[in-house]
Structure 1
Amino acid sequence: MHDPEWWILGKLWAYRSQTEPFIHIDSDVFLWKSLPNAVAKAPVLAQNPEYCIFGEHHADGWWYRPEIFDIRLKNMNGWLPEEWNWYTANRRELAYCCGIFGGNHVKFINHYADLALKIVTDARNQSAFSLMENKPGDCLLIEQYFLAACLEYHKQHADSNFQGLQVECLFESPEEAFSSNRSEEVGYTHLIGRAKQSQEIAERVEKRVAQDYPHQYERCLKYLKSISFLPALSELKGFRDLRSESQIAHDLSNALNLTHHAPDQHIIDGIGEIPADGTSFCTITITKHSLDGTPLTTEEHQDELFLRTTGGLIMDATGETHIRSLHLQNGQATFRLISEASPKLVTVSVFGQNPNLTKAEIQIEFI
């Protein structure tokens, strides 16, 4: 039984087990369009290249710390593959993000995955691993940095069975991968980091799945009810047993959507930022919509909604009155979030009395 912090083990086992060309897509990745032919037919494919800086593990790429990982293992008589030793000796800084990964050269991928698994499981490394505090980050080092090490090592050795092997990336850089325009063009969504917790993004993904794959969406609803994640039919107020699953799905998807005008200064996490000075604010807008995105503006949808935040102050739209609830008008309402005087990441929640109306949340960072 291995340390559960090594979350890459399942992926590496999957890579090593393949016998035919394949594509592996992470569970937080959504592929909306077919891959370009150049990527789909490549010997090895990945999401995008990315880079670390030797000796600067507190930079943006803090999870890539090859020099620290290397020293700790070797100081305790650990084992590392020849590809790793060659790559770090040359202080190489390239890695490949594996949000999507695979290819047509299955023998190379099996070889790489087998060695990556051995790094984690080799008995000679366990003493060093027991003292390491950054194993979730080192998972990316073993999966993604070591992938580049294998590719570059065999590319440089003429006697290798994998000499000259090329990798094709879906995006040319991390910035391109997380550019909304480019991602939309390619049809690719990767919810890394805190983006997985975004209520707005979750609702957008749910809406898209319901529109494009309605039968699979209904199967998901049935499963969630079967494990009591959603209430049973008899417990849903206002529903009759004669209503179809699709009607129930529609009603359960009447949702609240939150948007803000705070500038989004981070290319990855999608979180808006305002100064942590106790006076700056952002305006948050609530809208109520149906499954297909249609705004719900009639009188029956003018809900009273309750507002909560883990930090800062919630004020009315003019900034004059502290509030804890408001009413939708024509399916919409706005309010202000005032910052605190110290840096903090806060979550703003909006919910109503109607049990069939999904709760909405949005995160704002005071910086």
Structure 2
Amino acid sequence: MRIIQSAWACNKPDLLRNNSGWLSPEYNLMSWTLSCLQLKQYYPELVLYCDSAYRKLLIDTLELPYSDVVCNLDILNKYHPQLWALPKIHSYSKQEKPFLHVDGDVFIWKKFEDSLLSSELVTQNKEAATDYYEKIMISLESALNYFPDEIQKERKSSKPILAYNAGIFGGSDISFFKEYTSKAFEFVNKNILNLSKINVSGFNIFFEQYLFYCLARKYNKKVNVLLSETIGDNQYKGFGDFARVPYEKQYLHLLGNYKKNEFVCKQMAARLRQDYPEYYYRIIDLFKKNKVILYHDYYNLESTTKDFLVQRYIRLNHNAVAVEKQEAVKALSFDFKRDLRKEIGNIILNKEQFIDFEIFNSRINSIIKIDFLFISKDYLYARDCFANFYFQYLFEDKSDIYNKKIVRGDDYRIIKSDFNWSSFIEKQKDNKLHESVKLEKSGAGISTLIIPECDQNKFSLTYIDELDLVILEILKTEKTIRELFDALEEYFDTDELFKIPAEFENLIFGRIKLGIHVKSIKAIID
């Protein structure tokens, strides 16, 4: 099967300074790199359709191993830069034999089934409209002067909007794709003068995914999907869960808000570093050489070369404590201070909230000055690199999981407050619409986990409950997971445990996973 990808710089050729919808530009390049390398593991024929900007970056500079490169997308530079589905449509139109287009934010860890690839039409899944799609469509209908007949007929039927997600798109029915792509370009071209009246980015959904659905309906075409579930347009859950690959998940797609999610982006980058360190550090080196600030500012402090970083990473994989924790001289160059007052925003605190926040902030500053003083960024980087392996080590073989050993981490500290400041700050960070965020209070006190970090956050804050505290207390010495479960049984009603053992297991496994995510728990790897 011929696998194709398409990359267009959207008339913004400086890809080191254009985030292309991602949290930061380096994550765009890391996504392309990981997507390409994983596809290449299973499909030798992997073709890139691109413009000259992406050819220079992905092929000439990063040397991604595409089997062929077709640099024909500069022809789209006359179009609006937010018409990001056009390069895909153009690439579909150039196919003369069965193909599968895979987005550059899609990652696979196994081959697609032959029964899927042999289909006339293939997509990721059927998509159902929520109010989000419907509102965009209504705005388009009031502003655009042309709609394909297939869309008009579907709208007149008064049926809910359905579409096919184009994370993967293709098939063997080339004549269908010729007609479909022609109609898609006609849809765009006949509305060029009206683009200023609409949300252009939202338009892409309708001339690519919705039109495909309507045309397939017209001809009563069977569309085979990778995922059988019909998913709401903004309800894609678990599509960025890198902790569960490859042992539980073999397909991820960082669509929509996943690209802006800091945790998901860092997990994706960590996966690239784990599996392809040479390419990961090639990207880091590219930004450093061009003096472009990286989001993960640990590397902005590094003055070393790519080859050194690769070799150091390889050494760290063999020895988790290769970097000593007590490096006072280096530690002095890394400042853990963070302005939490700024992060809570311009909300008006009452007297009780103000006093509690000042105490909370003061305790954190004390921890930074005393407990974090001699922790170097190099030690934290080594810790993070090694932690990437914990999930797969623990959960890949469920038959042996209870014999695996875990222990609490060395670096975290816990403070208590009356209000849940950690959750509040996190919600404020993601509060794009500046809506009112509730500040939760507990009479029993809120426990917050503070972990030093070697990135722009300086330290992380995580709310934990009584069960998390109990688990951390039990894990002050190494325990097998079976020993942890046995120790926890005294905190639960025995009769209830026997009635719902699966729920108890899922609960504790969930807390272990949380601890690994926030680095308060680590695995003992033999």
TM-score (norm 2): 0.47
Q: 1:338 to 1:38 in 2, by over 3 A?
A: same
Contact kept, 8 Å, 2:422 with 2:461, in 1: the verdict is no
Distance in 2, matches of 1:154 and 1:8, equals 23
2:195 to 103, 123, 129: 129
Contact 1:46 1:102 in 2 (8 A): yes
Deviation at 1:152, TM superposition (A): 0.7
Pair 1:331–1:297, CA change in 2 (3 A) = farther
From 456, 464, 471, give the equivalent of 1:359.
Answer: 456
Q: Secondary structure at the match of 2:207?
A: helix
Give the drift of 1:35: 2.0
State how far apart, in whole Å, the 2-side matches of 1:225 and 1:126 are. Answer: 39
Query: 1:66 aligns to what?
Result: 137
How many Å separate the matches in 2 of 1:30 and 1:72?
Answer: 37
Contact 1:22 1:103 in 2 (8 A): yes
Post-superposition offset of 1:14:
1.8
Structure 2: distance between partners of 1:294 and 1:103: 46
User: 1:82 aligns to what?
Assistant: 149
What is aligned with 1:3? 80
Structure showing the higher strand proportion among its residues? 1
Mapping for residues 266-281 of structure 1, pairs under 5 Å: none
CA spacing shift, 1:242–1:305, aligned 2, 3 Å: closer
Unaligned runs of 5+ in 2: 1-77, 295-299, 346-353, 376-409, 432-449, 463-526
**Going by fraction, where is helix more abundant, 1 or 2?**
2
> What is the match of residue 34 of structure 1?
111
Indicate the larger mover: 205-214 or 342-351. 342-351
The alignment of Structure 1 onto Structure 2 pairs a total of residues equal to 297
**Shift in alpha-carbon separation, 1:216–1:344, aligned structure 2, 3 A:** closer
> Counterpart in 2 of 1:140?
205
Aligned partner letter, 1:29: V
Q: d(CA) in 2 for partners of 1:344 and 1:70? A: 35
Q: 1:129 is matched by which residue type in structure 2?
A: L
State the alpha-carbon separation in 2 of the partners of residues 52 and 22 from structure 1. 27
C-alpha distance in 2 between matches for 1:203 and 1:299? 23
Structure 2 counterpart of 1:172, one-letter code: E
Could you say if the C-alpha distance between residues 334 and 106 of structure 1 is closer, same or farther in structure 2, counting changes exceeding 3 Å?
farther
Q: Determine which of 80, 95, 100 is the counterpart of 2:163.
A: 95
Contact 1:116-1:146 within 8 A present in 2 as well = yes
Counterpart in 2 of 1:160?
Answer: none
| 2: CA distance, partners of 1:343 / 1:299 | 28
Structure 2 residue corresponding to 1:203, chosen from 242, 266, 290: 266
By how many angstroms is 1:51 displaced? Answer: 1.3
Alignment of 1:283-362 (within 5 A): 298-300=324-326, 305-309=336-340, 311-312=343-344, 319=360, 321=362, 323-324=364-365, 326=368, 327-328=371-372, 330-333=410-413, 338=421, 345-346=428-429, 357-360=454-457
Superposed displacement of residue 119, structure 1: 0.8
CA distance in 2, matches of 1:291, 1:308: 34
For 1:172, what is the secondary structure of its paired residue? coil
The letter for the 2-side match of 1:42 is S
Tell me if the contact between 2:411 and 2:452 (Cα under 8 Å) persists in the aligned partners: no
SS at match of 2:125: strand
**1: CA distance, partners of 2:106 / 2:129:** 23
Q: Please state how far the C-alpha of 1:109 moved relative to its aligned partner.
A: 2.1
Instruction: Summarize deviations over 1:162-209 as a string: whole Å, max 9, x none.
Output: xx3433233513379523689853412222333223332222212211
Q: Percent identity?
A: 21
Distance in 2 of aligned mates of 1:334 and 1:148: 52
Report Cα offsets for 1:133-160 as digits up to 9, x if no partner: x2211221221111111111111xxxxx
Select the residue among 283, 288, 296 that pairs with 1:220: 283
How far apart are residue 18 of structure 1 and its match? 2.2
TM-superposed deviation, 1:71? 4.5
| CA positional deviation for 1:339 | 7.2
Shift of 1:42: 2.4
Please tell me whether the aligned partners of residues 128 and 230 of structure 2 are also in contact (alpha carbons under 8 angstroms): no
Q: Offset at 1:215?
A: 3.6
Q: 1:151 aligns with which of 190, 193, 216?
A: 216
When residues 118 and 191 of structure 1 are mapped into structure 2, their CA distance, relative to the original with a 3 A threshold, is: same
Tell me the secondary structure at the aligned position of residue 92 of structure 2: helix
Is the partner of 2:336 in helix, strand or coil?
strand
Contact 1:94 1:145 in 2 (8 A): yes
1:117 lines up with 2:200 in the alignment: no
Give, as a single letter, the amino acid of the residue that structure 1 aligns with 2:455.
T
User: In the alignment, which residue of structure 2 is the partner of 1:56?
Assistant: none
